[in-house]
Structure 1
Amino acid sequence: MGETLPRVPGGVPVRTLRVKMVLLGSSGVGKSSLAVRFSKDQFRDSSPTVGCAYLTRVLYLEDITLRFEIWDTAGQEKYHSVTPLYYRGAHAALVVYDICKKETFVRAQVWLRELEKQYIPGSTVVWLIGNKEDLSQNREVSLQEGQNLAQEKGLSFTETSALSGDRVNELLLAVAHGVYESVGEQEDGLSEWHEMPLVDPRHRKSFNPFASCCRVGP
């Protein structure tokens, strides 16, 4: 049985739209920890991501359900050439840096330039994120520097802490509204997501063990 869809007062099922969100930035800035916060509201200190990791999160807005497909990309230089394969077609892109490491802020500007080559303004909601705000006593990047870069590039900006969860849920909700309002209103902006029906393996004639091989996430 698929999960029951939330319904609006008139009894009509709320549509579920797919949102592809990608996290970009240097290794060690906390992208994986932010992704886990987004998905499970937990903190997990993890080892560097190899290639790309995938998580999901469902958010309910007033009259729509958004299913976030969260792609956490590897920040190591050796994976840089394949990263565009993951963020191409993203509806939301979060460029993350560590406020305690100036070089990650410089590197974030490289990611932004790369991203500008791939997305069409209005089709992708882009945020600049200063992570590890809980370690602000060790900061090397001021709040003003982050704000100035975001303003220069026309991006939204916030500082977060994946460790404490500070401003993480607020960020995801803001991204959700931004995506739905800017991308969701466009023709073919967001595709609808449907729960895949379970197939009884006893029905050999109709059962194909490879039918869902390319499906990821819950």
Structure 2
Amino acid sequence: MVDPIFDYQFRLILLGDSTVGKSSLLKYFCEGKFSEHLDPTVGVDFYTRLAEVRAGVRVKLQLWDTAGQERFRSITRSYYRNSVGALIVYDITNRDSFLHVSDWLREAGEHMEPRKTVFLLIGHKTDMEKERQVSEDEGAKLAKFYDVTFFETSARTGENIEAVFQAIATKIYTLLEKGEVGVEEGWEGIKFGFGRPMRQSSFQLPTAEQNETGCC
């Protein structure tokens, strides 16, 4: 049985063109397996998993998988505002999906401001090296330009899947420690966990009302 205790919940959103592999990436992270055939996401889909960001500190990652098709964009935009982090995914075998990264970053930034948001860039499907259209160096240079962390991944082999979510969760928690992000009334990006005895910390402790909100 999975221990349900966690300290915080972070809400993350995955963005990118259709068919870049967002759903397969999440399925591997949450279920530990690769699915050859997944139906295209319609609107949004939802996953959760616990992660440890410090010794004894656990967070629940609430992961929203969005459709990349234009006809669903008005739906997915409504999920931007309540997210503290965004993973922008492109397919290394599809150059157009890489060229659209800037559009996804701009759109996400516009809808997630003024709060500080953690972005991470992912070049997916490294198992298809022979069909590569975007070099790892190009991905790294684009990430450097936007000052975001960059990984290349594969849901087929599991390459860097754990590292991606560990990196973004740890970065958000670090900002939380510094007071640059925090729990806000009416915002779903970061929420207090449940079941953990209250303790002294450098963060603002929850009120009784906040502590009763639960995780979702």
Q: Secondary structure at the match of 1:70?
A: strand
Contact 1:24 1:96 in 2 (8 A): yes
Q: Which residue of 2 aligns with 1:32?
A: 23
Q: Secondary structure at the match of 2:99?
A: helix
Q: Secondary structure at the match of 1:81?
A: helix
Match of 1:94 among 82, 87, 93: 87
Q: Which residue of 2 aligns with 1:117?
A: 110
State how 1:19-58 maps to structure 2 within 5 Å: 19-44=10-35, 45-58=37-50
Residues 1:167 and 1:51: Cα distance change in structure 2 (over 3 Å): same
- Give the superposition deviation at 1:65: 1.1
Q: Which has the higher helix share?
A: 2
When the two structures are superposed, what TM-score results if normalisation uses the length of structure 1?
Answer: 0.79
Match of 2:155 among 162, 169, 172: 162
Residues 1:135 and 1:193: Cα distance change in structure 2 (over 3 Å): same
Q: Which residue of 1 aligns with 2:65?
A: 72
Whose radius of gyration is greater, 1 or 2?
Answer: 1
Deviations 1:51-85 (A, max 9, x none): 10001001123131100000000111111122111
Q: Which residue of 2 aligns with 1:136?
A: 129
Deviant stretches of 4+, over 6 Å:
none
Q: Secondary structure at the match of 2:150?
A: strand
Contact 2:183 2:192 in 1 (8 A): no
Give ranges in structure 2 of 5+ residues lacking alignment. Answer: 185-189, 196-213
How many positions carry a matched residue from both structures?
189
Sequence identity (%) = 34
Residues 1:79 and 1:5: Cα distance change in structure 2 (over 3 Å): closer
Q: Does 1:194 align with 2:165?
A: no
When the two structures are superposed, what TM-score results if normalisation uses the length of structure 2?
Answer: 0.80
Match of 1:84 among 72, 77, 87: 77
Give ranges in structure 1 of 5+ residues lacking alignment. Answer: 7-14, 196-214
Q: What is the CA RMSD across the aligned residues, in angstroms?
A: 2.3
